[in-house]
Amino acid sequence: MSARQEATAAELRELLEAVREAIDIPYASCAGEDDKRTAALKDRAMRASVILQRVLDEPEGMDYLRADTTFLRNQLADAPLDYVTHEESRERMARGVPYMEAVRGAD
């Protein structure tokens, strides 16, 4: 394998990890917060899909893997999750926060 192929393989792995970060998001703390999770998942899947489409469908798509990965990660950072996750609510309850406050985010 050439040095460029090895670099491309590593860059492709980084892109795939960024795509996984985009779509493998935690469950919401309760059903009432699930609409927010669903909206975030749809938005993130769309962003990842656009990047994958460019990489796979454009002739020079593989030439910009590192830039596409950075772009996707920056987009995800600019749109953080806006709901309380199941794990966050459990941590809050372990600190003594009442259930209804823990699942809704009031600390």
Q: What is the mean pLDDT of each run of 10 residues along the chain (107 residues)?
A: 70 95 95 92 97 88 90 95 94 95 76
Q: How many CB atoms lie within 10 A of CB 30?
A: 16
pLDDT computed for residue 61 by the predictor: 81
Assess contact for 25 and 37: CB atoms under 8 A: yes
pLDDT at 6: 67
Q: In terms of Cα–Cα distance, which of 19, 18, 38 is closest to 28?
A: 38
What are the sequence ranges of the domains in the chain?
3-104
State phi, psi for 85 to the nearest 5 degrees.
-80, 165
**Can you say whether the dihedral through the CA atoms of 92, 94, 96, 98 is positive or negative?**
positive
Q: What are phi and psi of 28, to 5 degrees?
A: -70, 160
What is the reported pTM? Answer: 0.83
Question: How far is residue 22's CA from residue 56's CA, in Å, rounded to a whole number?
Answer: 18
